[in-house]
Structure 1
Amino acid sequence: MRISRGRSRLVTVALTALAAVGLTIGTAAPASASTWHELRYVALGDSYAAGQATDCTHTASSYPLLLDRLPSIKLVSDVSCAGATTTTVTTSQIGALNVSINLVTVTAGANDLDVAGLEAVCAANPASLPCAAAIQARQAQLPALFANLAAMYSLIATASPEATILVTGYAPLVSTGPLYTAEQALNSTIQGAVTSVAAAGAHIRYVAVAFTGHTVDSPHPWFFLTGPNIFHPTWQGNLVYAAAIARSLLAIG
């Protein structure tokens, strides 16, 4: 997907503003004295990181490519891929990491629970019995997901021990109701796994993301509502992801 000229200007302005408030200074990782212009960045994860829901290509509006446009960040490798699970990350993507990497982003976990299938069942009628059954089935899988996420984060920290690892949640598709509650349970599981690995000494942080006022039940959603990328962030949503990650870096610095 190409970003139109007008949208590209908006993205450039937004990223320039982020850079202006401090992305060219600070520290890269809590354990190092490197400055942010030295950040060597690897992106891991699923379709939310790739910026599209079809394959392993990366759209121009994906948040890793947006972050790469900042002068302080050099995207060394983007191995994110639509459909990736925690197993995919640990078996197929983690090879992109090494000791020279000092920034890693990860968006993963939703495909372990087939959240896309849940959204498809619940989108038409969140109060339906099929939606309730789908949510219950996925809730039963959360303990196993927690273990898989914690193991994945630990492997990432071992592969790139000097890296700051920023783990994003998933922007809720809707603003209220059973589906919102289920999405929050997923994000809480991700955040809990991050906290457990951080307690063991890893430089890892959870990054919450929300499209407040722009969910699918709003007049101007930042999710695609049709087509192959249905229920995935638009370019505006991807920019929110990039901004949330940038703010987290600033907080660390």
Structure 2
Amino acid sequence: MPAHRDRTAAIFGAVISPGSRYVALGSSFAAGSGVKPRLDKASGRSQRNYAHLVAEALELDLVDVTYSGATTANVLSESQNDAPPQLGAIGPETELVTVTIGGNDLDYIGTFIRGSLMNTLARPVGLIAKRLGNRIRARVSYLKDQSEYDAAADSLTEIATQIRKSAPRSRILLVDYLTLVGPGTRPRLDVPLNEEQLPSVVMMAEGLAAAFAKAAERTDAELITASSASLDHAVGSPEPWTTGFRFVPFGGVPYHPNEAGMRAVADLIVNHLRANP
């Protein structure tokens, strides 16, 4: 086990016993957008997101303030629609906090969806006018500057720091993002990116995972690496933990955790807590 987790258990290691207050923070990858049954339309929160599954398994008192589309600013200081900053749910009695946020700061999923949409539109156009098809594809940039990943790491660090101030004895789990593009992912109908674009999506995912790792190391928060655990469960794998792209109205939420993915993340968290009481 990494040394920073040992220190967390020694210094802040609240025992997560039945009835403990558990607060879940994050964006759609935590809220469970598209996973039924839905609890709230505005937030996209699912009754079967990983927070609810963890709370059910460990008999915890859950406060779920995850919200689809949230950025780190919506956790720290900015309201989202009618929802106040998510950190407001943290108090001295909080014993467990999970955090999955940062992807929207980088427009990670948004870029993937727009690229897939543009490629899907460009395919029939390109059969008639190749140059126009290429122009449509080129409207999406997959490149991010390192400063953007550094900013995400800084924001995650600030979130963990503020949680610690509000709930000094809480267990803080930074839960990174499930993998969308794995080693075996190839261009296909539900991943309509080409061989040049797919590696750029992988680079974004790796940059986001590195931001979580940096924040965990800086703050002694505990790191749940859903990204590495799901490498063999990307879109196109025999047992995917995320959805692919669908170019149809009401076709679900593309490139987000499915029910199996939510269960897998919940299992990672529960197993981690049971192994590190």
**TM-score (structure 2 length as normaliser):** 0.71
Match of 1:60 in 2: 47
Given that 1:45 and 1:84 are in contact with CA atoms closer than 8 Å, whether structure 2 keeps it comes out as yes
Pairing partner for 1:78 from 57, 64, 68: 64
Structure 2 counterparts to residues 192-211 of structure 1, below 5 A: 192-198=214-220, 204-209=221-226, 210-211=229-230
Deviation at 1:34, TM superposition (A): 4.2
Task: Please give the alpha-carbon distance, in whole angstroms, between the structure 2 residues aligned to 1:145 and 1:71.
Answer: 31
Structure 2 counterparts to residues 199-238 of structure 1, below 5 A: 204-209=221-226, 210-225=229-244, 226=246, 227-238=251-262
Match of 2:28 in 1: 47
Say yes or no: does 1:184 pair with 2:177: no
Given that 2:176 and 2:225 are in contact with CA atoms closer than 8 Å, whether structure 1 keeps it comes out as yes
Residue deviations 1:187-230, cap 9 Å, x none? 011111121112xxxxx111001324321132442222233411
Structure 2 counterparts to residues 102-141 of structure 1, below 5 A: 102-123=95-116, 134-141=141-148
Match of 2:123 in 1: none
Residue deviations 1:57-104, cap 9 Å, x none? 4212200111121244221x1100001111000121111110001000
Task: Please give the alpha-carbon distance, in whole angstroms, between the structure 2 residues aligned to 1:165 and 1:180.
Answer: 27
Given that 2:114 and 2:140 are in contact with CA atoms closer than 8 Å, whether structure 1 keeps it comes out as no
Distance 1:34 1:170, change over 3 A: closer
Q: What is the one-letter code of the residue matched to 1:249?
A: L
Deviation at 1:248, TM superposition (A): 1.8
Distance 1:143 1:132, change over 3 A: farther
Task: Please give the alpha-carbon distance, in whole angstroms, between the structure 2 residues aligned to 1:179 and 1:214.
Answer: 16
Task: Please give the alpha-carbon distance, in whole angstroms, between the structure 2 residues aligned to 1:205 and 1:132.
Answer: 38
Gaps (5+ residues) in structure 1?
Answer: 1-27, 199-203
Question: Helix, strand or coil: the match of 1:141?
Answer: helix
Pairing partner for 1:36 from 3, 12, 17: 17
Match of 2:6 in 1: none
Q: What is the one-letter code of the residue matched to 2:262?
A: N
**TM-score (structure 1 length as normaliser):** 0.77
Q: What is the one-letter code of the residue matched to 2:240?
A: P
Deviation at 1:165, TM superposition (A): 0.4
Match of 1:69 in 2: 56
Gaps (5+ residues) in structure 2?
Answer: 1-8, 35-40, 78-84, 120-133, 184-198
Question: Helix, strand or coil: the match of 1:137?
Answer: coil
Question: RMSD of the alignment, in Å?
Answer: 2.7
Distance 1:44 1:196, change over 3 A: same
Distance 1:59 1:133, change over 3 A: closer
Runs of 4+ aligned residues of structure 1 deviating over 6 Å after TM superposition are: 128-133
Match of 2:124 in 1: none
Indicate the structure (1 or 2) with the bigger Cα radius of gyration: 2
Of residues 147-156 and 105-114 in structure 1, the stretch that sits farther from structure 2 once superposed is 147-156
Deviation at 1:150, TM superposition (A): 1.1
Q: What is the one-letter code of the residue matched to 2:272?
A: S
Identity percentage of aligned residues = 30
Given that 1:157 and 1:163 are in contact with CA atoms closer than 8 Å, whether structure 2 keeps it comes out as yes
Match of 1:239 in 2: 263
Deviation at 1:43, TM superposition (A): 0.5
